[in-house]
Structure 1
């Protein structure tokens, strides 16, 4: 939300440089947060400033999401996948990686790893 007359109500506002220094995030990330409404911004005295309270809430949500993330174990290198030989054969037949991954039930990253191993062999 960008506004020239956003009410203060005691809100603390930070400049872009202050936000980037405090968060360690990029300008693009800050722009994305504002575009999605995660961080509130306003124009004060011709300068864009950002609401400190929304930055704090965003930081807390990021920490919570990071702590609650799930890990999905994979096979590591492609040659450890149980369907490696089938994937190699289908790659040799010219099938696309996405189709192979969908049919076998593996990630496209696994198919790509096996394709690279075939090229390097």
Structure 2
């Protein structure tokens, strides 16, 4: 049943792009895990997180529209946001925070957070696709 419902939620175009971004995110995360250079690990982790976010957006609809909704939700700090929008806003907030951290040791947490986000992204994408 979940497969049938998933087919109703996403067309082939968005499914293809979601899977592509997911593959690229996995590759970036794997490269981040093996990189001996801390700044490269951080950069690749952030890149993977952004691609995971985009994969989720493609599963849920138009990425540019969702990006606008999330930015609006973050700027207005909605008092009672719905759960999916709140989740997307928290992912965006996490990526923004990790992007601007000045201390490299704090940025190292980006790899751990990227791994956790990958698990959530896989769950979401597999449920929808």
TM normalised by structure 1 equals 0.25
Report the structure, 1 or 2, having the larger helix content: 2
Which structure would you say has the larger Rg? 1
- The structure with higher relative contact order (CA 8 Å, sep 6+) is 2
